[in-house]
Structure 1
Amino acid sequence: MTAVPTASTAGGYDDIAERFFAAVGRGDLAAVTDLYADDVEVWHNYDEVDQTREQSLRTLGWIHAKLGPLRYVDVRRTLLPDGFWQQHVAEITGDGATTRIPAALRVFCRAGKIVRIEEYLDPAPFTALVAARATT
């Protein structure tokens, strides 16, 4: 992973990012909850919907329970004055195969909390994985 240092490094955004992706990867919803602001919004490019905190946590819990833990590889992160930008590949391994989902997230932070996530990804690999798991 490459992090480009900026003045925001002192703001702890790299630490927030590390803790967030580690928590999501292991399905630790309590840790994600601690990082989310009460009024966090999570937007996805593929449906253009803003999820609430509760909706996002429900989605993350479902992914972990039904598909298994995530692993983030090929991580490139840029720290910004109000958060960070991260490109990565999320890997989900199960049933002897690994599904790779390239993604990018723009994460906005305030007062040590995540206040907004804008997630950009092609949902096709994820949709195919969900369909395959539903038939097994």
Structure 2
Amino acid sequence: MPETDTDSLTDVAERLFGAIECGDIAAVAQLFSPTVAVWKSGDVRDNDHARSVKIINWFITTTTDRRYEILDRQLFGGGF
């Protein structure tokens, strides 16, 4: 993957998780592509944009303190 793609994906990842930590659901919705496909443990299918934003909104509204520590981030063509 070209370095510029890696830099762009890393930037989006940092902004996305920063928005979640700050509780900025509008930024999360904007950072998710309209064609996003999000998978989480326990799902039998990917979640689309609306469902993914709804899940993150639930997480933000039911937690008071959010912090992400990157232990391993896998980048691939078009996502992370």
| TM-score, with structure 2 as normaliser | 0.76
Aligned counterpart, 2:47: 51
Greater strand proportion: 1
- Does residue 70 of structure 1 match 2:66? yes
Q: Comparing both chains, which one has the higher relative contact order based on Cα–Cα distances under 8 Å and sequence gaps of 6 or more?
A: 2
Q: Residue 43 of structure 2 aligns to a residue in which SS?
A: coil
Aligned counterpart, 1:39: 35
Q: Which runs of 5+ in 1 are unaligned?
A: 1-5, 84-106, 108-136
Q: Which of the numbers 26, 42, 56 marks the counterpart of 1:60?
A: 56
Q: Residue 35 of structure 2 aligns to a residue in which SS?
A: strand
Greater helix proportion: 2
Structure 2 residue identity aligned to 1:49 = R
Query: Which ranges of 4 or more aligned residues in structure 1 deviate by more than 2 Å?
Result: 74-83
Q: Which runs of 5+ in 2 are unaligned?
A: none
Over aligned residue pairs, what C-alpha RMSD do you find?
Answer: 2.0
Q: Which of the numbers 77, 80, 83 marks the counterpart of 2:76?
A: 80
Identity across matched positions, percent: 31
Q: In 1, distance between residues paired with 2:36 and 2:12?
A: 14
Structure 1 residue identity aligned to 2:4 = A
- Does residue 10 of structure 1 match 2:4? yes
1:61-93 alpha-carbon deviations (Å, 9 max, x no partner) = 11111122420124333443433xxxxxxxxxx
Aligned counterpart, 1:25: 21
Decide whether aligned partners of structure 1 residues 73 and 29 sit closer, same or farther in structure 2, where only a CA change above 3 A counts.
Answer: same
